[in-house]
Amino acid sequence: MNLMRQLAAWLRRRDPGLAATRRAGRTAVVMPSLFALCTQVFHAPAMATFAAFGAFAMLLLVEFPGPMVQRLRAHAALAVAWLVLVSLGTLAAGSVWTATAATIVVGLTVLFSGVVSSVLAGATTSLLLAFVLPVTTPAPLSQLPDRLAGVALAAGATMIAISLLWPRTPADPLSAPAARVCRAAADQLRTDADHFARRAGGPSFGACRARAQETEATAQELRRAFTATPYRPTGLSTGSRALVRLVDELTWLSSILAGAGPVAEVGPTGDPESSAVRRAAAAVLDLCAQMLEDPGCTPVRLRAGEEELRKALSALEGGAVSRLPTPDGAAGDGLYVDAFIESLDVSFRAQEVAFVVLQIAQNVEIVRAADQRGLPDRLFGREPGTLTGPLTSATERAAAHLEPHSVWLHNSIRGAIGLGIAVALADLTGVQHAFWVILGTLSVLRSNALNTGQNAFRALGGTVAGSILGAGLLQLLGSNNTTVLWILLPIAVLVAGIVPAAISFAAGQAAFTLTLVILFNLAQPAGWSVALFRVEDIALGCAVSLIVGVLFWPRGASAAVSRALADAYVDSARYLLGAVDYGVSCCRFGAATIGVPQEGRRAAAAARRLDDAFRTYLAERGPKAVPLDEMTALVTGVVGLRLSADGILELWRRSSDDQPPEDRAAAQKELLAMAERVLQWYESLADGIERGGSMPEPLASDRRNSARLVDAVRRDLRDEEGRATATSVRIIWTGDHLEAVRRLQFTLVPAASGRAPA
């Protein structure tokens, strides 16, 4: 009993949540049972092979997210795909040329389709096995019904197993730490609101700083949880991707809050409206935390909180207009410029925070709504609440990666070519078990040559070890060993499913080899020579992977992530300029903007490619070219740039002012000049990141530009009574957004230069 407790504790340490153990346990029950049924009762070897490998692929290699009903629907779709691919593979196996060409086409399609949704991505390996198993085992078409019957048996048994055998409770490792960040940020906002409101006995400057430090600490804890999570692009559902965006947004929120609070014991006087916005934002964050902690919580209260926050934002804008200083004094008067900007500083910080909080709330809603979607939406990766149809959504996602520097496209092409070469080589060399060659190629090929080489040596070492164990076992059991082998088969399957996660990839290869030795000796006794064939075939598959890994994008994600970062910064900075141009257009009488949505889509596509490249970069073994903290700072910088552009768009979309165009000419000119200056800087940063050259120095604050902007507001944007308008507030706040992305440069330059931020 004590030994069992120790084993259970060891498993929980090595296999958090017992995810691999659960899958292995189900497979150990189903796979041997189906194999015994087909061989001993139906006496159908072809049916037995496809039932056994189908159960293995559908139970051990697939873990669909979401509620049970959604998982069953996804498994039903997987079964249909298996039937189609087994039929295609059987038809294509007639000659080596058709088999090779079909493998490349199907491999590329299956691998690349994973970019569309987590349902397709999570099933990639299983779908590839559905095709390569029949295409590497040529047989007359008369065997196709037996093959399909085996697949149908495996699919039916799989759906029963996931429903009844150790049902999985949906969980994720990021919701709890994300909820803690929301609560800490909410406490900080309430503390800052009371401080700025100058309430009697209110919190001191020290209390505000303590709350800010607590928010920063919880945000760092969330980041650590994220980087420690074995996320790969193929494991991200829509809900999980929303959680990943939430990590970036909460990190950005914590950095904004650090500058939005009081910066000195005696700071700028607050106002009732900005304090009200902070409290409303805090209420929304508390509701976000509740939804993250309780998956069954409805979004009704959260949406009501968002509406209250928007009302508070409208009141903030009106209050800011009423408190603007009287525009007396000469043009460019320094005291007037300082007074004007300072009067809007606290209110700008409040609206900046409010916008990020609204974005966070929308992502939390997506997280909780994602699992309630129907199968078509899940299959095509359509996010909840979007206006586009499922097919359009899938097309947009795929188009974002039809780009020469996409890591996903690289991996898809590399994998398809590797599988095609393996099929051709297995046929030309006449090996006995060509399927094992493909398994060897598929199991060790990774996103860069270094990891592929390391996996090849591990695979060969594990296969040799498993072959020795298998040969020794068969020698020990002698010729009358069938009963013992049937007893050992489920144990071997269980171990083969657990050890890759609990011990190592090499141990998994050893256990899988031992399982195959037992399985093939039960189907057609061949003694320990099966183990030798296994070593030969795996070595051939590993050689193919090594060659393909060296020839096709050998540096993997470490090179692609730099290009993805550069693209994301350029596209996001252009989106920022487009957002400012949108604001300028709103200042024109009856003007409309056309380019912003397209620029926003390009920025979103670049951010998605960066997201996938960064996650592949995290998953790659070996030393990192850029320390993780610095790479994280650069990725978060892209998020900040896009959120600033989003904030400017949202600010001007609330505009209802329509004074004649000539009244805003000077202010428009200054805003565009500031935005173009920022764009040029970020283009220089992107060039330095991609080419590894020197980084541009952060831009200095241009006081003359700020003075001209304020003077333009004072001169051009007044009503008949000489008072500033709401448009003048939006113009200054737009300039503040540009100033925020300028200050961001002081964090990005050290990170991009390979130094820790000062």
- Distance from C-alpha of 669 to C-alpha of 521, rounded to nearest angstrom: 80
Which tokens is 655 given?
A: 């505009």
Please give the pLDDT value at position 209. Answer: 84
Please give the pLDDT value at position 231. Answer: 42
In contact, 285 and 300? CB cutoff 8 Å? no
Same domain, 193 and 312: yes
Is the model more confident about 220 or about 430? Answer: 220
Same domain, 88 and 47: yes
Same domain, 340 and 451: no
Determine whether 699 is exposed, middle or buried from the number of CB atoms within 10 Å of its CB (0-12, 13-18, 19+).
middle
Please give the pLDDT value at position 723. Answer: 61
Query: Could you tell me if residue 381 is inside a domain?
Result: no
- Distance from C-alpha of 602 to C-alpha of 163, rounded to nearest angstrom: 42
Please give the pLDDT value at position 589. Answer: 42
Does 553 have pLDDT greater than 60?
no
Instruction: For residues 600-614, give the mean pLDDT.
Output: 82
Domain boundary (354, 370, 386) is at 370
Same domain, 121 and 209: no
Q: Residue 657 is part of which domain span? A: 564-752
Same domain, 452 and 306: no
Query: Could you tell me if residue 388 is inside a domain?
Result: no
Please give the pLDDT value at position 280. Answer: 95
Domain boundary (127, 153, 170) is at 170
Is the model more confident about 76 or about 542? Answer: 76
The kind and range of the H/E element at 607 are helix 595-619
- Distance from C-alpha of 18 to C-alpha of 754, rounded to nearest angstrom: 38
Is the model more confident about 448 or about 406? Answer: 406
Same domain, 235 and 154: no
Please give the pLDDT value at position 39. Answer: 92
CATH number of the domain within which 208 lies: 1.20.58
Instruction: For residues 157-162, give the mean pLDDT.
Output: 94
Question: Among the listed ranges 244-253, 261-270, 299-308, 472-481, which one has the minimum average pLDDT value?
Answer: 261-270
Is the model more confident about 205 or about 55? Answer: 55
In contact, 133 and 33? CB cutoff 8 Å? no
Locate all alpha helices (DSSP H) within 503-626, ordered by sequence.
Answer: 505-523, 529-551, 557-586, 595-619
Query: Could you tell me if residue 183 is inside a domain?
Result: yes
Please give the pLDDT value at position 100. Answer: 93
Does 288 have pLDDT greater than 50?
yes
Please give the pLDDT value at position 335. Answer: 46
Please give the pLDDT value at position 92. Answer: 95
Same domain, 502 and 571: no
Structurally, how many domains does the chain consist of?
4
Please give the pLDDT value at position 755. Answer: 40
Is the model more confident about 483 or about 228? Answer: 483
Task: Determine phi and psi for 446, rounding to 5 degrees.
Answer: -125, -175
Does 330 have pLDDT greater than 80?
no
pLDDT above 90 coverage of the chain, percent: 22
**Contact residues for 577 (Cβ-Cβ < 8 A; gap 6+):** 672, 675, 676, 678, 679
Check residue 583 and give left, alpha or beta (phi > 0: left; psi -120 to 50: alpha). Answer: alpha
Same domain, 641 and 663: yes
Does 622 have pLDDT greater than 90?
no
Cα 745-747-751 angle, rounded to 5 deg: 110
From the list 596, 486, 479, 567, the residue with the least C-alpha distance to 528 is 479
pLDDT band at 657 (very low <50, low <70, confident <90, very high): very low
Distances (CA, A) of 471 to 476, 530, 537, 727, 752: 9, 9, 16, 82, 54
CA 635 to chain CA centroid, nearest Å: 12
Is the model more confident about 190 or about 227? Answer: 190
Task: Determine phi and psi for 6, rounding to 5 degrees.
Answer: -65, -40
Query: Could you tell me if residue 10 is inside a domain?
Result: no
Predicted confidence (pLDDT) per residue in 238-251, tens digit = 566 677 778 888 98
Same domain, 71 and 103: yes
Is the model more confident about 297 or about 31? Answer: 31
The model's pTM: 0.71
Determine whether 45 is exposed, middle or buried from the number of CB atoms within 10 Å of its CB (0-12, 13-18, 19+).
middle
Query: Could you tell me if residue 707 is inside a domain?
Result: yes
Please give the pLDDT value at position 151. Answer: 97
Predicted confidence (pLDDT) per residue in 49-80, tens digit = 999 999 999 998 888 876 788 788 889 989 99
Query: Could you tell me if residue 397 is inside a domain?
Result: no
In contact, 520 and 530? CB cutoff 8 Å? yes
Query: Could you tell me if residue 106 is inside a domain?
Result: yes
Does 658 have pLDDT greater than 50?
no
Same domain, 267 and 296: yes
Please give the pLDDT value at position 574. Answer: 92
Distances (CA, A) of 576 to 214, 248, 259, 675: 31, 18, 21, 7
In contact, 165 and 26? CB cutoff 8 Å? yes
pLDDT above 70 coverage of the chain, percent: 73
Tell me how many helices (H) and strands (E) the chain has: 28, 0
In contact, 401 and 100? CB cutoff 8 Å? no
Domain boundary (170, 196, 228) is at 170
Which tokens is 457 given?
A: 């040596």
The pLDDT mean for the chain works out to 78
Same domain, 502 and 586: no
Distances (CA, A) of 377 to 18, 125, 167, 233, 297: 29, 22, 24, 19, 22
Same domain, 184 and 156: no
